[in-house]
Structure 1
Amino acid sequence: MMSTPLKVWWHELNTWEPEQARHFYNVTLGWDFQPTALPDGNRYWVAHKEGRAVGGIFQLTQPDFEGIPSHWMTYLAVDDIVAAQTRAEQAGGEILRPAFRLAGVGKLSVVTDPTGAIIGLIEPEGQEAVSRAPVH
């Protein structure tokens, strides 16, 4: 019996230079961007292709992200973020950002695997959302 793979829920570019990134992905991939405000007041840009949301851009800021280079972050959908964090630690990983709730999105966490690779986890709002997650 094959297990069901985790669904890729969201791709997010974390960058120090969101203007340059928006220009690059607009020209290269034809993405358009819609700005929105995060709960802390910072801006976030949702990327769209042919009217469909395909990812986002998050601006890295000092001092919270000092020393972190621009990078793409993938978020994988899980049914229970607290249980997923516990399993990650039991398997030799580390919790870099404990679960927090983002209104209208769900609960998010950032963990590492035992090799130091970083991955985002998301428990989407409404558990039925996991079964509807787009696979990229």
Structure 2
Amino acid sequence: MAEATWSPGRLVWYELYTPDVAKSKAFYEAVAGWKVTESDMGSMKYTMANVGEKPIAGFMPLSVIPMQGVPPFWMAYVSVPSVDEAAAGAKSHGGKVLMEPTDIPHVGRFAVLQDAQGAVISAFKGTDGDGAEVERPPVGTFCWSGLNTTDLDAAAAFYARVFGWTKGTFMGNAEMPVFLRGQVPAAGMMKAPPGVPPHWLNHILVADLAAARTKAVGLGAKVMMDNIAVPGIGTFCVITDNVGAAIALFQGTA
């Protein structure tokens, strides 16, 4: 049995909080090509999305959120050496801990954090490590996540304390700031458009953006941001899925 290894600062899991798990399952199976199954997690069933044999995301009923009026959303999980220290760091840098550090038997420990500007993300320490890191994500998996924020410098300071990230640029482009873990880009950051609250936006890699977008719209998605080309990298669009959760669809440059 391989020894467990961790990659602190890497985004390692994603979870959709949805009012209709069955509806979300049908949507992402059609648009992203996922195989969605149910797994036993002790006293509960957990709906899990897979690409091939690799688990990449989970679906949770929105009703588990204790606050009223929370819209459907995707949440990313970042690997940390200590969930408790990450939570303490969030509190000390103007953020909030929306869910205190909690153990999931045989899975790991996590906490839900809100940064000082209001974006929500989770800290996670898996029991069995983080799994192998791949250089080129396969089609159907999450390939990037980006923070939309009202204050880039404050966000950089917050995430430096919580996840150990530093602020850098993507391929030396000062117009494309990123979070780094060491020398490796961990996630993007950009100024949120006027009127848009701070949030994390996650990107799914698709083989054909036009086809995926058309299929998504046909299943009830709405296009929130039209296709944007990133020279030398690829093209993406932002949609809200058929339950209203924001997600980006990305096609890489061949």
Task: Give the alignment's TM-score, normalised by structure 2.
Answer: 0.43
| Structure 1 SS opposite 2:197 | coil
* Counterpart in the other structure of 2:146: 12
Structure scoring higher RCO (CA < 8 A, sep ≥ 6) equals 1
After superposition, where does 1:16-95 map in structure 2 within 5 Å? 16-35=150-169, 43-60=175-192, 65-95=193-223
**2:230 aligned with 1:102:** yes
Give aligned-pair identity as a percent: 26
Determine which structure has more spread, i.e. the larger CA radius of gyration: 2
Q: Given that residues 35 and 45 in structure 1 are in contact (C-alpha distance below 8 angstroms), is that contact kept between their aligned partners in structure 2?
A: yes
Separation in 2 of the partners of 1:7 and 1:18? 27
4+ runs deviating over 6 angstroms: none
Separation in 2 of the partners of 1:47 and 1:9? 15
Separation in 1 of the partners of 2:220 and 2:245? 12
Q: Give a deviation string over 1:5-48, Cα, whole Å, max 9, x none.
A: 3211101000111110000111111111113587xxx8331111
| Higher normalized strand content (fraction of residues) | 2
C-alpha RMSD of matched pairs (Å): 1.9
| Structure 1 SS opposite 2:194 | coil
Gaps of 5+ in 1: 127-136
Q: How many residues align?
A: 118
| Structure 2 SS opposite 1:34 | strand
Separation in 2 of the partners of 1:43 and 1:16? 16
Shift of 1:66: 2.3
Separation in 2 of the partners of 1:67 and 1:17? 14
Gaps of 5+ in 2: 1-33, 36-49, 52-139
Amino acid paired to 1:87: K
Separation in 1 of the partners of 2:176 and 2:231? 14
